[in-house]
Amino acid sequence: MVKVVANQKKNNRVQMNRDFFQKIYNHPLINTEVLNELISWHEKINFEKGFAFLESGNIANEYYLIESGLLRAYVHDFEGNEITTEFYSTNESCIEVSSLFQRIPTKENIIALTDGTAWKMEFDKFQELFHKIEGFREWGRAGMSSRLFMYKERKIEMLIKSATERYKDLINDKPSIIQNAKIKHIASYLGITDTSLSRIRKEISLD
């Protein structure tokens, strides 16, 4: 009886992992067989708040799939201030594209804002799978196109939307950021000052 329960729990965990990977590797050419192979090439890591996934000056040698937790990417401006460039949350991939694929030192730092779990894919493994599996290759191409589109959309929204609108979008799209990131980190991501964001938050609470 104990073994049956243990096996059931194990099967449930396997199914949960498969569901998680399916959300990430969602592509018509990635069937169950391909998905299972991709899963086997990942390494699971449990990380703590403050863990550095990448530091400025280093070359990214892996990317991560975030099963739980929140990560923050940032750079230092010419005055030494931290400017948040991106947040990575549950069911998202964390990839420093330029460093990973061009094999150049990164200008970004990526750290964990919370405890969590991620799955690591090393660059050499990625390269092997990219050339070996058509579905993985097409997923990668589609992902890069989607990422470029989102970056452009964000740049345009910085120009055509007010800071209040952008903050409300963030609340709706990524509530975990509002719950776990410091005001100054959110403010720099939105391209405004801490004071402006505090005013916006107060105005929204009064609506």
Task: Please write the tens of the pLDDT for every residue from 79-135.
Answer: 999 999 999 999 999 999 999 999 999 999 999 999 999 999 999 999 999 999 999
Find the domain containing 121 and state its range. Answer: 2-160
Percent of the chain whose predicted confidence (pLDDT) is above 70: 91
Distance CA 160, CA 7 (A): 54
Cβ–Cβ < 8 Å for 38, 129:
yes
102 φ/ψ angles, rounded to the nearest 5 degrees: -95, -5
Residue 199 lies in a domain: no
Q: What's the chain's length in residues?
A: 207
Residue 204 lies in a domain: no
Q: Is 86 inside any structural domain?
A: yes
Whole-model pTM: value is: 0.86
Q: How far is CA 42 from CA 125, 170, 182, in A?
A: 9, 30, 31
Give the span between the Cα atoms of 207 and 202, in whole angstroms: 9
Cα dihedral sign, 13-115-148-58: negative
Give the CATH number for residue 15.
Answer: 2.60.120.10
Contact by Cβ (8 Å): 117, 67? yes
The number of domains in the chain is 1
- pLDDT band at residue 41 under the 50/70/90 scheme: very high
Q: Is residue 69 part of a domain?
A: yes
